Amino acid sequence: MGARNGNKNYSLELEKILKNTENKGKKLFLHSCCAPCSSYVLEYLRGFFQITVFYYNPNITEQEEYLKRMAEQKRLIEEFNRQLLEGEVSGYLIKVEEGDYPKGLFFEAVKGLEQCKEGGERCFVCYELRLRRTAEQAKEAQADYFTTTLTISPLKNAGKINEIGERLSKEYGVLFLPSDFKKKNGYKRSVELSKEHGLYRQNYCGCVFSRNGAHEKSAVVALDKE
């Protein structure tokens, strides 16, 4: 089943929108956290929407990591556009826009939530931080929809992400595209595409808290194998 919030099935809601041919060719402003997470989403939607990928991730603590992910994002989009131009696939060319990188913004936003468990309230603040900027940019670009690749991850709360998106949609006057991209083997396909295109696939979301959590998990796994 798709992610639910009350009686909502976000995966099914997205399917209904895609079945409506009146929406074909409309402009989608897509927030992306990284190339691997965007891979399946772009493959899935590029034949339906005119997509602008918005890379905005002030949560990434280390600039080197931020730049590495941005480079991979651009490389993947270039490859997808090459496939289109050479007739391997059909659809629309994908644009990319890089947001700013205000390193202190994330820490200001999550102040007081440093001890929260990964996946909790601190992450919800981070979702909104990135989605709000996406909605702002989508409105400025006169896009028809905005959404995020974040629901591709099994570790992300898709219900909460959609809840935030719907609230921001009302605030900014831009339609939010509902999703639970990990469903219908979406996450599995993103892993396959990452291997196919040789994408750098990180093992943490981006902030120092998620990085430390990933290191702790790795240490536990190592101990278990001894």
Calpha distance 156→153 (Å, rounded): 5
Calpha distance 122→115 (Å, rounded): 9
pLDDT of residue 213: 65
Q: How confident is the model at residue 203 (pLDDT cuts 50, 70, 90)?
A: confident
pLDDT of residue 7: 67
Residues 210-221: what's their mean pLDDT?
Answer: 52
List pLDDT tens digits, range 108-128: 999 999 999 999 999 999 999
Cα–Cα distances (Å) from 130 to 5, 62, 90, in that order, read: 21, 17, 30
Residues 3-30: what's their mean pLDDT?
Answer: 89
**Cβ within 8 Å of residue 205, ≥6 positions away:** 33, 59, 123, 155
Residues 133-140: what's their mean pLDDT?
Answer: 98
**Picking from 90-94, 118-122, 124-128, 189-193, which range would have the lowest pLDDT averaged per residue?**
118-122
Element spanning 146, H or E: strand 145-148
Residues 197-213: what's their mean pLDDT?
Answer: 89
pLDDT of residue 8: 87
Higher pLDDT, 151 or 222: 151
Q: CB neighbours (10 Å) of residue 150?
A: 28
* Look-up of token digits 């992306």: 32
pLDDT of residue 212: 83
- What are residue 102's phi and psi, to 5 degrees? -80, 95
Residues 130-146: what's their mean pLDDT?
Answer: 98
